[in-house]
Chain A
Amino acid sequence: MDRRLDIADSTDWIGTPLAPFQSLENALRCQVCKDFYDTPMITSCSHTFCSLCIRKALTSDGKCPVCRASDQASKLRRNWAVQEIVDAFQAARPAALKIAQEHGSLKEGQEARRKKLKRSIQDTGPEDQEEELSFQFRRTRSQSRRAAAATSSQEVNDVVNGEEEYQPDDGLVPCPICNSRMKEEAVYAHLDRCDGQPSSQGRSTRSRASAATLKPPQRQPYPQQSKATTPPTERLPQLSYSLLKDNALRKKLQELGIASWGPRPLLIRRHTEWVNLYNSNCDSSRPRSKRELLAELETWERTQGGSAPNAGAAPAGVMRKEFDGQAWARSNHDHFEDLIAQARKKRTPTDATKEERTGDQESEKIQGSPDQDIDDEGKPAMINGGRNTTPNGETSGSRDNPYEGNEEALSIIRRKVEEANHGNTTQRSSTEDEDVPMANALLPSEQARAEEMQDSIEPLSAPSRKSPLSPTRKKPMFSVPEEPVEDYETDTQAH
């Protein structure tokens, strides 16, 4: 939660003397995630996005989000220049923003100072300025996710030459002692005889010199890749899922070390997500460990994957611990509204018996109760679990529950519950044709009205009352599911 609070945005510049920086910053942000470019990739149509963003977009519809030209993930190329610009800007940003805001709050319109400030930011200005910059830089670096992996980076930053990190080929890793680059598997053998001398065959002296003289903050290397986080070398191929059988697919997932439960569509989505995560990590100049990626996948699982509310649309997802009930309820809100509206409509007094009849038959069909007609109209409408025996809403219970007399509504809802119990997602098939776009009908302010309706409707709905309220009816409705009961208290509190 707290992490959200310091989300930087281009609007931070508004109101400061550096307002034009807003457009500069906007240009350095990915149009998909609206964040600074993270491992920018350029498409064949020359648009740049974060690696992960464009990969996800391409897997979802295969088109460039900006110009909608078809493209493929395999055609993406890294855009190192943008990466460096973004890094430099991000490093300079806090300091610049701070100065700009202070300046703005102090006094308006000291043009000279502002110019000086601008210059100092753009081309590594005076000494003190520079110091502040790098200080700021370190602060934010350590806040940032990437550096969080190794907080010791600051010391390392000062010692190690960073050029290596910008090697486009991920196949090589630097020796932690001498920094010479070699194949991953060769590192251990090399370590045994490494003398610790910085390798002469390292980067060209030119780039080294330039790095030293320019010394923009981001040129300082990212934390050394520990052995655990050696950059993955090979990108994962996309699978042609249609050719794979379920079991083969499951096996593939297992081979990749990711969860392999769930129905086939979920498997496919999970695999796609993983491939995107993994490949974008391959693109990155500071790859994360597989464990971090797995954690990311877990997040995905919780928000969009199998554990997500509307993923399976099945109680399977519903019963999971991380299930987001509110979202689920919300996503089905309209549906429920429709159902309720239909139920209401059926028992509106203005609808004559004819309609009532069809409605009754319908609900009876569903409940499988013997065909009864409305001839037992006069029957006292009692029931409702024996809780409220007076029909006309005088008991306290009926004030709370204006719908209890409304068997129509209840029967539909019950059916829904039934379906939920059986994991059936095709609801309201029989009532579909009556689907009128109506807003929800349940409002406490309408309780009086509801009661009045209830009175008038009581006799009509009598016949359908028997079956649903018999004990045999009740049981399956709230039968305990197969899954173990989870601790809901704590679960919802966490929300």
Chain B
Amino acid sequence: MATSVASKRLFTEYKHLTNDPPQGITAGPVTEDDIFVWEALIEGPEGTPFEGGVFPAELKFPKDYPLAPPTMKFTCDMWHPNVYPNGNVCISILHAPGDDPNHYEHASERWSPIQSVEKILISVMSMLAEPNDESPANIDAAKMWRERRGEYERRVRENVRRGLGL
């Protein structure tokens, strides 16, 4: 396999994340034979119902990374307004400025080649803490979050515990 710009950069990022991981984040390629698919573990931010949980997600990178953003998909049960029921994460940093599915995001929050896996994961962490109500990916979850916060939190906590096998 030829080492393209993308794979080289991914490798650099992998090393960076290995040597200097941000708090509560572990990420790396599923196998180094294919550097374009990563698995990340994110800790639930403290002070939120997600606290104490560990959430696995899969990142898929396009071949023209970093010009185009990766996609991210939680591979666990994730009850969150900005996460589609199938696990796909809908967050502005994962959208290129060109494609704007929701027409609300500021261009400054969008994907740009200077972003990185680390920044994505950190953004997702903060998204867990503060859902973006304007662009619900999971309408039911958004509704619940807005109207029945208690139920929402209970459900999230339940998922957290189940995720840890408790």
User: Per-position contact with A for B1-32: 1 when CB-CB < 8 Å, else 0?
Assistant: 11111111101110110111000000000000
> Are the CB atoms of B3 and A4 closer together than 8 Å?
yes
Contact of A303 among B4, B97, B116 (CB under 8 A): B4
> Are the CB atoms of A437 and B84 closer together than 8 Å?
yes
Q: Is B36 an interface residue (CB 8 A)?
A: yes
Interface residues in A250-302 by Cβ distance below 8 A to B read: 299-300, 302
Contact partners of B63 in chain A: CB under 8 A: 303-304, 308, 310, 327
Contact of B8 among A12, A35, A65, A439 (CB under 8 A): A35
> Are the CB atoms of A14 and B19 closer together than 8 Å?
yes
Contact of B112 among A12, A65, A437 (CB under 8 A): A65
Contact partners of A327 in chain B: CB under 8 A: 34, 36, 63
Segment of A52-60, A173-181, A193-201, A377-385 in the binding face: A52-60
Q: Is B60 an interface residue (CB 8 A)?
A: yes
Contact of A9 among B12, B67, B97 (CB under 8 A): B12
> Are the CB atoms of B114 and A65 closer together than 8 Å?
yes
User: Per-position contact with A for B27-50: 1 when CB-CB < 8 Å, else 0?
Assistant: 000000110110000000000000
Within the assembled complex, what's the spacing in Å between the Cα atoms of A19 and B114?
23
Contact of B5 among A33, A334, A495 (CB under 8 A): A33
Within the assembled complex, what's the spacing in Å between the Cα atoms of A18 and B44?
33
Contact of A302 among B2, B6, B87 (CB under 8 A): B2
Contact partners of A3 in chain B: CB under 8 A: 3
Contact of A437 among B8, B12, B34, B85 (CB under 8 A): B85
Within the assembled complex, what's the spacing in Å between the Cα atoms of A190 and B9?
45
> Are the CB atoms of B2 and A32 closer together than 8 Å?
no
> Are the CB atoms of A14 and B34 closer together than 8 Å?
no
Interface residues in B106-127 by Cβ distance below 8 A to A read: 107-108, 112-114, 116
Within the assembled complex, what's the spacing in Å between the Cα atoms of A33 and B66?
8
> Are the CB atoms of A303 and B6 closer together than 8 Å?
yes
Contact partners of B34 in chain A: CB under 8 A: 326-327
Within the assembled complex, what's the spacing in Å between the Cα atoms of A134 and B152?
63
Give the most central of A11, A34, A53: most B CB within 10 Å.
Answer: A34
Within the assembled complex, what's the spacing in Å between the Cα atoms of A495 and B34?
10
Interface residues in B62-98 by Cβ distance below 8 A to A read: 63-64, 66-67, 84-88, 96-98
Q: Say how far A15's CB is from chain B's closest CB, in angstroms.
A: 8
Q: Say how far A42's CB is from chain B's closest CB, in angstroms.
A: 15
> Are the CB atoms of A57 and B60 closer together than 8 Å?
no
Contact of B2 among A60, A65, A299, A310 (CB under 8 A): A299
Interface residues in A436-461 by Cβ distance below 8 A to B read: 437-439
Within the assembled complex, what's the spacing in Å between the Cα atoms of A65 and B96?
11
A4-B3, A61-B97, A63-B97 as given contacts; A34 in contact with B13, CB under 8 Å:
yes
Closest to B116 in A: A34
Q: Is A113 an interface residue (CB 8 A)?
A: no
Within the assembled complex, what's the spacing in Å between the Cα atoms of A53 and B9?
12
Q: Is A209 an interface residue (CB 8 A)?
A: no
Contact partners of B2 in chain A: CB under 8 A: 299, 302-303
Q: Is A236 an interface residue (CB 8 A)?
A: no
Within the assembled complex, what's the spacing in Å between the Cα atoms of A121 and B1?
38
Closest to A59 in B: B67
Q: Is A75 an interface residue (CB 8 A)?
A: no
> Are the CB atoms of B64 and A7 closer together than 8 Å?
no
Give the most central of B63, B64, B87: most A CB within 10 Å.
Answer: B63
Within the assembled complex, what's the spacing in Å between the Cα atoms of A35 and B16?
12
> Are the CB atoms of A68 and B107 closer together than 8 Å?
yes
Within the assembled complex, what's the spacing in Å between the Cα atoms of A1 and B116?
23
Contact of A61 among B5, B36, B96 (CB under 8 A): B96
Closest to B87 in A: A439
> Are the CB atoms of B67 and A33 closer together than 8 Å?
no
> Are the CB atoms of B16 and A9 closer together than 8 Å?
yes
Q: Is A248 an interface residue (CB 8 A)?
A: no
A63-B97, A327-B34 as given contacts; A11 in contact with B4, CB under 8 Å:
no
Q: Say how far B119's CB is from chain A's closest CB, in angstroms.
A: 11
> Are the CB atoms of A66 and B112 closer together than 8 Å?
yes
Contact partners of B1 in chain A: CB under 8 A: 1, 495
Contact of B16 among A1, A11, A330, A331 (CB under 8 A): A11
Interface residues in A293-335 by Cβ distance below 8 A to B read: 299-300, 302-304, 308, 310, 326-327, 330-331, 334
30 A-B residue contacts at CB 8 Å?
A: A4-B3, A7-B12, A9-B15, A10-B16, A11-B20, A31-B113, A31-B114, A33-B5, A33-B8, A35-B9, A52-B5, A57-B67, A60-B67, A61-B96, A65-B112, A65-B114, A66-B114, A68-B107, A68-B108, A68-B112, A299-B4, A303-B63, A304-B63, A304-B64, A326-B34, A327-B36, A330-B60, A437-B88, A495-B1, A495-B33
User: A330-B37, A437-B84 provided; 8 other pairs, C-beta below 8 A?
Assistant: A7-B15, A52-B5, A53-B113, A68-B97, A68-B112, A299-B2, A303-B6, A326-B34
The 3 A-B pairs of least Cβ separation, nearest first, read: A11-B19, A31-B114, A437-B86
Question: What residues make up the interface of A, taking CB atoms closer than 8 Å to B?
Answer: 1, 3-4, 7, 9-12, 14, 31-35, 52-53, 56-57, 60-61, 63, 65-66, 68, 299-300, 302-304, 308, 310, 326-327, 330-331, 334, 437-439, 495
